[in-house]
Structure 1
Amino acid sequence: MRTPSNLLPEGFHDALPPYAEAASRLERDVLDTLASHGYARVSPPLAEYEDGLTEQMRGASRNDLMRFVDPISQRTLALRPDMTMQIGRIAKTSLAERPRPLRLSYSGQVLKLRSGQLHPERSRLQIGAELIGSDSVIAASEIVSVAVEALERAGVTGITVDFTMPDLIDMLAAGPLPLNEAQIGEVRGELDMKDAGGLSAMGATGYLPLIEATGPFDEAMARLRKFDTGDLLGSRLDGVSRIAESIKGKASLTLDPTERHGFEYQNWFGFTLYAETFVGALGRGGSYEIVHPDGQSEAAVGFSLYPNPLIYAGFGTKISDLIFLPLGYDRAAAAGLREAGWRTVAALSDKDQAEALGCSHILNGDQPEPL
């Protein structure tokens, strides 16, 4: 499965059989699901001008770009670390005049400058969908539902959707629980670690209830509503609750209102997708804004899946049996078997052996015979 490290750079590897085929099948399952809901596929380039690619990027993600100078234009190019921003560019330029809401899907490799312990690969497959022109509860409910359906079609079970509110701390810091910029960063860090003692030590006790408002969705939402005494969050909490209600029974639901990992540009609503037996997230999504050249912003909601863990766990490896075709085989019979979904491997010499070539059957006359 892996290539010796001295042949390829760290974080890169070849996809070998059966994993390369598994990736293709899983990608097709997900894209077919998106197409069935009206999402039209687009395919942006692997590299773009750095300034255009970073236009909607924030924070540390700008430092995760692999850059090089284009010998033709002499401008700096960058390899995409994420495809969502490219879809935003397409929506506000080439497809700016298309009717809204605009539903787009995509799939391709993204490249990271650095790898992490949980995801050591620097190149990975990203598949996703963006609904542009609305971030209403109905639009967000569609995106979450389609994401869950896509994972189910790929064979994933035991799915959990963890909801969050990416701009919650900013709202509270600018209103009932004032914080300056430095304090916002410190509070976010303590909430990331769920460190009640740290919050108390820095005098941010007003944020303590947010630690308790984490866990199974209904219980956590009830605690969050109790915390919202001034009804600042009322409409947002109602919206997230309605989105969760729309997929109840299709997945396990949890809430972590201050989760921010992977939500650098989302605003009022976000979600992370998990599945039993898998460590880490399989995908994320949420609401955000696309800024057009004239300065006007456009609401959007979408999700991205990162299915590499599924591929190497065997999802998508539903490969039909392999039939060995001996010398002088019946070509019409072999063609009929391929049309029926069988795979065939033809002998090139009398030295070829069915078992050595990984076959499960041999063609005997016009019928496959198990080995």
Structure 2
Amino acid sequence: MTDPISKGLLPEGFRDRLPPQAEAAADLLRTLLDSVSAHGYERVSPPLVEFEDSLVTRLSSARPQDLLRFVDPLSQRTLALRPDITAQVGRIAATRMAHIARPLRLAYGGPVLRVRPAQVGPQREAMQMGAELIGSDHVDAVAELLGIALEALSAAGLADMSVDLTLPDLVGTLASGPWPVTTPLADVQTALDGKDAAALQGLDASRYSALIEAAGPAESALTRLKSLNAGGALDTRIAGLERLVATAAPHAAVTIDPTERHGFEYQTWIGFSVFAAGVRGEVGRGGTYLVRHPGGGEEAAVGFSLYVDGLVDAGLGASRRRRLFVPLDTDSEVSAKLRTEGWTTVSALTDADTPKRLRCDYTLDGEELIKL
């Protein structure tokens, strides 16, 4: 039987990025980070590995079996590879940067690794980029982050975007106030997850069917939400949605699904997902959440994560570089000057090297640049 290692095979869910996709990924990450940093977000770079118990404590709904783990030969403690960077930024904000005045604006970019691939693709390794504002979950803070995310994606060349807004805590808020339920709240939420109005009827929670009907384009969804008799419990949520719709509308189509919870388990009052034509799955997601402090306190925050791999797979970032063949014995100062002018120089090392062999578009003939 052929040894898979000798054939260059990789573990399931992992892949090599070759030229030009590898360069496209690096360029896109740089573009996204530059766009975010222009708004005052300072970059942090957490390690790829942390203690398992630290990651499990800070990650939403994380279990040890959900992490790629190994025993550290130095400390003899179990370490884990991060499946997400957001929680690491929260740790940094709550510990190493706890003394910095709030709001604290941080950005990051790097690889994450999962035990199992995401539902939208087979890959277990992904490039994640994002920004976090620690110290506030006010609607103005959310609007800032949502606007920055869309601006960064536009700078990366993405068009035809859509944003889906959701209210992760809405059902719980209504159940503890104007719309009490006699059955377990989890059953009501499960029925809403499945958009199952019949199940809500059987749970004696038929009034919650109105939330299913409220899902759709922003304008009609807001109209339906405003018509619900919820004793004023929706007023601040509706005002927040209106503010965010106004923020996103110039850049993307906006929809609202007030009961969507999948992937928003640790979000508080608002969550959002970004999609785009030609990109498989979500381009990114974000919302408000709580940062846990070592002493037991919590701090409001809002942030977003963008997924670079989907952008690369959609063909973004792959700019064609002008590769210029430099013959043997060319003065190095000539090549250096050409690089300052934006050329990518590829120098011949032997007489066997030719422009075609080195995949060049141009060749240098004396002082003349000749297109091939």
TM-score bucket of the superposed structures, by smaller chain = over 0.9
Counterpart contact for 2:56–2:62, Cα < 8 Å = no
Q: Which runs of 5+ in 2 are unaligned?
A: none
Following superposition, the deviation at residue 279 of structure 1 comes to 2.7
Counterpart contact for 2:136–2:302, Cα < 8 Å = yes
Following superposition, the deviation at residue 170 of structure 1 comes to 1.6
Summarize the alignment of residues 32-51 of structure 1 with structure 2, pairs less than 5 Å apart: 32-51=34-53
* Residues matched between the structures, number: 368
1:120 corresponds to which of 119, 122, 138: 122
Summarize the alignment of residues 259-270 of structure 1 with structure 2, pairs less than 5 Å apart: 259-270=260-271
Query: In 2, distance between residues paired with 1:85 and 1:126?
Result: 13
Q: Deviations over 1:276-314 (max 9, x none)?
A: 122311110001111212222211100001121111222
Summarize the alignment of residues 48-67 of structure 1 with structure 2, pairs less than 5 Å apart: 48-59=50-61, 63-67=65-69
Query: In 2, distance between residues paired with 1:113 and 1:179?
Result: 37
Residue 299 of structure 1 aligns to a residue whose secondary structure is strand
Structure 1 residues 356, 228: closer, same or farther in 2, change over 3 A? farther
Bigger drift between 308-317 and 70-79 goes to: 70-79
Following superposition, the deviation at residue 92 of structure 1 comes to 0.7
Q: Deviations over 1:197-229 (max 9, x none)?
A: 333344331111111111111111111121243
TM-score of the aligned structures, taking structure 1 as reference length: 0.94
Query: In 2, distance between residues paired with 1:231 and 1:333?
Result: 73
Query: In 1, distance between residues paired with 2:262 and 2:98?
Result: 30
Bigger drift between 272-281 and 142-151 goes to: 272-281
Structure 1 residues 12, 151: closer, same or farther in 2, change over 3 A? same
Counterpart contact for 1:118–1:280, Cα < 8 Å = yes
Following superposition, the deviation at residue 60 of structure 1 comes to 5.3
Query: In 2, distance between residues paired with 1:5 and 1:246?
Result: 51
Following superposition, the deviation at residue 117 of structure 1 comes to 4.4
2:30 corresponds to which of 28, 31, 49: 28
TM-score of the aligned structures, taking structure 2 as reference length: 0.93
Q: Which runs of 5+ in 1 are unaligned?
A: none
Residue 55 of structure 1 aligns to a residue whose secondary structure is helix
Query: In 1, distance between residues paired with 2:331 and 2:227?
Result: 75
Following superposition, the deviation at residue 61 of structure 1 comes to 6.0
Summarize the alignment of residues 326-345 of structure 1 with structure 2, pairs less than 5 Å apart: 326-345=327-346
Summarize the alignment of residues 136-147 of structure 1 with structure 2, pairs less than 5 Å apart: 136-147=138-149
* 1:281 maps onto 2:293 in alignment: no
Query: In 2, distance between residues paired with 1:5 and 1:23?
Result: 25
Summarize the alignment of residues 51-200 of structure 1 with structure 2, pairs less than 5 Å apart: 51-59=53-61, 63-179=65-181, 183-200=184-201
Summarize the alignment of residues 251-330 of structure 1 with structure 2, pairs less than 5 Å apart: 251-330=252-331
Provide the alpha-carbon RMSD of the alignment.
Answer: 1.9
Structure 1 residues 162, 174: closer, same or farther in 2, change over 3 A? same
